[in-house]
Chain A
Amino acid sequence: MGYDPENPMKDRITDIGPQHYAQYFPPVIKKNFGKWLYHEIIQPGVLKHVSETGDECYTVRVGCARLISVMMIRDYCDIADKHADGVMRYTTRNNVEFMVDSAAKVKPLLDACAKHGSMPVGGTGAGVTNIVHTQGWVHCHTPATDASGVVKAVMDELFDYFTSMKLPAQVRVALACCLNMCGAVHCSDIAILGVHRKPPMIDHDTITAVCELPLAISACPLGAVKPAKGINSKGEEVKSVAVNNDRCMFCGNCYTMCPAMPLADPDGDGIAILVGGKISNSRSTPKFSKMVIPFLPNTPPRWPETVAAVKNILETYAKDAKKYERVGEWAERIGWEKFFEKCNIPFTDKSIDDYRLAYDTWRTTTQFKYTSHIK
């Protein structure tokens, strides 16, 4: 049985779609589906949901590295088998959740997580939850920085905010290792974004073989790539492209379309920090993250500049914001000029938008605050 390479189409099954979710519900979830009345967070990382039937569901949320081995998954399974009816789930922020139906079952579950050593409980309420992130150097072909490594370094430093709820509101930190933003950092309270700073090189030896030149040319949103003759390493003239460096904003889209236009570089690449984005419609409308630090170097293995920058913003916000206020709401209330001053972040021209719709972000009023920026 199994796949037969001699008869690849024999007994083939396609388009069966995902498994039906309901078969994996813990009993208390199945019984109370659609009947939940309210919830409380009884301690950091432990949720209590109460149903109109009177049933209770206790959830223990565990921080997870996302890049995990099947051995780690089996460790989670062991705990779920012993303590949580053999069922578990993953959150959209890559935490693991175990659910039980009585308060008495919580302590043994927490003890089991503590005993394992790599299952921190937290990530609820007014704290920092798991950092949503991308692949980085471990498995992606276009990154400008690593992902798992940076996240490990940052979460080690923010750990106390994962296991407690002492911030003014929840703070969502996310990392995307390039401008493609698989990690959707563009609407996060604090976003760590891998950026390139050098225009693409052109590999005239391979470009005609591996690229559709019109696609590479049209890939550039700023028209910086144009058809041109190139000279390959044998001295022959080949059909190729040229890049107008002054127009390049280093998005990397040309490289995505054309492998012969690499732009990654040890010195050119690094990290930008954006803040103040949110997704929830609660109080204020969803917001984009705004770039406040245009560049920090890649410094493996622990990215101290990035870790310090994130921690500084988080702790300045924690000290200054009001209860319920998200990072972006706080920055808008005090004004961005105060944000830069309070966070002691140098302001540069790089934080003034000069891309599409830039004018929407320029100040068109006499209303501003005097800060140390006005000499």
Chain B
Amino acid sequence: MPKHDTPLLDQLESGPWPSFVTDLKRMAKKKDQCWDILGQLELSFKDKITHWKHGGIVGVFGYGGGVIGRYSDSPAKFPGVAHFHTVRLNQPSSKYYSTEILRKICDMWEKRGSGMTNMHGSTGDLVLLGTTTDQLEPIFWDATHELKMDLGGSGGNLRTPSCCLGKSRCEWACYDTQAACHNITMTYQDELHRPAFPYKFKTKFSGCPNDCVAAIARSDMAVIGNWRDSIRIDQAAVKSYMKGDFPSNGGAHAGRDWGPFDIQKEVIDLCPTGCMWMEGDKLKIDNSECTRCMHCINVMPRALRPGKDQGATILFGAKAPILDGAQIATMVVPFIKMDLENEFAEYKEIIEKAWDWWMEHGKNRERIGESIQRIGLPAFLAIMEITPIPQHIREPRSNPYVFWKDEEVEGGFERSVAEFRKKHKM
């Protein structure tokens, strides 16, 4: 028997998209708390406002993150969700699971929590929704001992790194995103679990400029696969595309008749730099003009591949609007190698240099992108010991207000007004 009437939520049980309401109701038959989730959500649907209280600091011994406290503001009505904390589990790189481990997680969560999850949270963690304070230590014990899984990050720390699926199932990955994500997560366990930063710090690993894990939009430090040599061309496959033997864009447009494939219109004319042309039936690319946008490779995956000299571009400072407005990440290091053999040493040198500075100079709740904006990109490049190059900008400044330094100007800033007055009377 339903514990609460949910006439509004019931309307979300119809329609073709999977219904979380139907799923919650099914779970409620086994876990009584789920009735109270439904009841409280129904009340929110009626009142048009959340019924979760602000904050609440809970966690496990020795960690400063990984658990987010949550309390109902109507515990008498909904005792099952009076306290209903979130647990973040650190997902394996690119979220592959055996059913064996998933079933173990399910059993643990049915025993110790509400049975509800987010697969996955926006930062990538496997999110377990809803448990009580007294269950937190047992959950942490079960997670580490039985599941061999650790908590993820929350608060002012390194947030759980995440990556695209990389070389495991993609032909475009320019480095092993999964190995990088795993190695960096393991290296910085302390930074992940014990908040020491001014605010959150996200790092994400994408294998190519298509950026399937949205690193450029969401990470304080984005690592996006890139290459420095020439796009590899299979001219026979180019011909096959032109003959219509292969579907363009991997068949992504199959649902509509766009007419026969036209390499001029669909590839060459859409190249942002105009660096491609046909010579007879051969496709030519002036690679020195190429900005590696991926469009031609996306359209003809069987004919074109990224070059062989592969690594990553490092960008800093992406974030959503809170506080200073949204930022897309700024390109800081054009190219580094991303090698497991040296444990991603170049990456680590960069991230540690940035952290050292930001931990000392970042203000409370200031993302590193905001710190960089506050001091300016030239100052940040100096801190990172990076020589400014035109690749750092979209265009040069159009205002003349240069912050010259004392030592940069002949004779310095110190001058005698008395000497000045000898020639220039008031």
Contacts and interface: CB of A to CB of B under 8 A. Distances in A.
Partners in one complex: yes
A137 B41 contact: yes
A87 B99 CA distance: 6
Contacts of B50: 136-137, 140-143, 264
Contacts of B22: 118
Contacts of A71: 23, 26-27, 30, 115
Interface in B22-63: 22-24, 26-27, 30, 34, 37, 41, 44-55, 61-63
Interface size class of B (residues with CB under 8 A): 35 or more
Interface stretch (B161-169, B383-391, B411-419): B161-169
Interface in B383-425: none
Nearest to A280: B210
Contact of B96 (A21, A72, A152): A21
B141 to A, nearest CB: 4
Contacts of A315: none
A87 B214 CA distance: 25
Interface string A269-293: 1000000010111111010100000
B323 interface: yes
Interface stretch (B145-153, B282-290, B349-357, B374-382): B145-153
Contact of A282 (B34, B48, B93, B295): B295
A69 B48 contact: no
B325 A355 contact: yes
B235 interface: no
A284 B138 contact: no
Contacts of A137: 41, 44-45, 49-52
B145 A13 contact: yes
Contacts, number: 415
B256 A283 contact: no
A38 interface: yes
Nearest to B172: A36
Contact of A286 (B217, B252, B301): B217
Contact of B98 (A11, A23, A153, A259): A23
A135 B128 CA distance: 12
B20 A152 contact: yes
Contact of A89 (B26, B95, B147, B162): B95
A180 interface: yes
B247 interface: yes
A92 B213 contact: yes
A19 interface: yes
Contact of B48 (A43, A180, A284, A300): A300
Interface string A241-274: 0000000000111011101001011110100000
Given A125-B254, A264-B50, A3 B293 contact: no
Contact of B53 (A3, A80, A141): A141
Contacts of A185: 320
A33 interface: yes
A309 interface: no
Contacts of B246: 40
Contacts of B333: none
Contact of B272 (A44, A155, A283): A283
B44 A302 contact: no
B117 A68 contact: yes
Nearest to B97: A24
Contact of A266 (B47, B218, B250, B272): B47
Contacts of B218: 184
Contact of B150 (A17, A37, A140): A17
A128 B397 CA distance: 39
A259 B252 contact: no
Contacts of B171: 36-39, 49
Interface in A34-58: 34, 36-44, 49, 57
Interface stretch (A162-170, A225-233, A338-346, A365-373): A162-170
Contacts of A179: 320-322
Interface string A3-41: 101001101111111111111111001000110111111
A166 B86 contact: no
A281 B61 contact: no
B211 A280 contact: yes
Interface in B61-107: 61-63, 70, 84, 86, 90-103, 105-107
Given A21-B94, A152-B17, A221-B324, A86 B23 contact: no
Interface in A131-170: 132, 134-143, 146, 148-149, 151-153, 155-156, 159, 162, 164-167, 170
Given A66-B118, A73-B119, A3 B253 contact: no
B169 A57 contact: yes
A200 B258 CA distance: 52
A252 B292 CA distance: 39
A176 interface: yes
Q: Which of A40, A125, A141 has the most chain B CB within a 10 Å cutoff?
A: A141
B255 interface: yes
Q: Which of A17, A132, A266 has the most chain B CB within a 10 Å cutoff?
A: A17
B302 interface: yes
A139 B129 contact: yes
Nearest to A91: B95
Nearest to A270: B48
B242 interface: no
Given A38-B301, A126-B253, A73 B106 contact: yes
A14 B62 contact: yes
A289 to B, nearest CB: 9
Interface string A333-363: 0000000000000000000000111000000
Given A70-B27, A265-B49, A302-B12, 12 more contacts: A13-B144, A21-B93, A24-B96, A68-B118, A81-B99, A99-B169, A165-B251, A165-B252, A215-B364, A262-B54, A282-B209, A283-B272
13 contacts: A14-B62, A14-B193, A29-B168, A69-B27, A70-B109, A70-B117, A92-B124, A92-B214, A138-B37, A140-B52, A184-B218, A186-B320, A281-B209
